[in-house]
């Protein structure tokens, strides 16, 4: 089992000397435990279940797509009251850190949060 991380880049030339890189950061997780590291998108697959920790120091926004059963947790409460959010296979949830909480901005397929 391993973690695949890709950062595709697209370069746009502004001048002859200057180049701007646009990054789209995502990670594919295939391990039972993972902590976010600043990526915007996380895809969890090829593992029976996974525990995903939201790192509030490295992330303020992340979209999680689960192709397995997944528990998402953090040091901060989620939606002001939950310690763990359980996601079923196929679910996708958008998390945003605001103040001292993580909030679910949109979701599909949540199971007994």
- The predicted-structure confidence for 21-64, as pLDDT tens digits, reads as follows 444 589 999 999 999 999 999 999 999 999 999 999 999 999 99
Average of per-residue pLDDT across 2-31: 57
The position carrying tokens 């039972």 is 32
Asked if 56 and 75 count as a contact pair (C-beta separation under 8 A), the reply is yes
Dihedral sign for Cα 104, 31, 35, 100, please. positive
pLDDT at 106: 87
What confidence category does residue 108 fall into, taking pLDDT thresholds of 50, 70 and 90?
A: confident
């Amino acid at each position: 089992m391993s973690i695949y991380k890709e950062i595709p880049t697209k370069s746009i030339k502004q001048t002859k000397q200057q180049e701007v890189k646009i990054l789209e950061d995502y990670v594919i997780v295939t391990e039972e435990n993972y902590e976010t590291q600043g990526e915007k998108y996380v895809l969890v697959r090829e593992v029976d279940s996974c525990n995903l920790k939201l790192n509030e120091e490295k992330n303020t926004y992340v979209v999680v797509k689960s192709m397995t059963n997944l528990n998402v947790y953090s040091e901060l409460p989620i939606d002001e009251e939950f310690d763990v959010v359980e996601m079923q296979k196929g679910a996708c949830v958008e998390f945003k850190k605001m103040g001292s909480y993580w909030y679910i901005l949109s979701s599909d397929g949540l199971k007994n949060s």
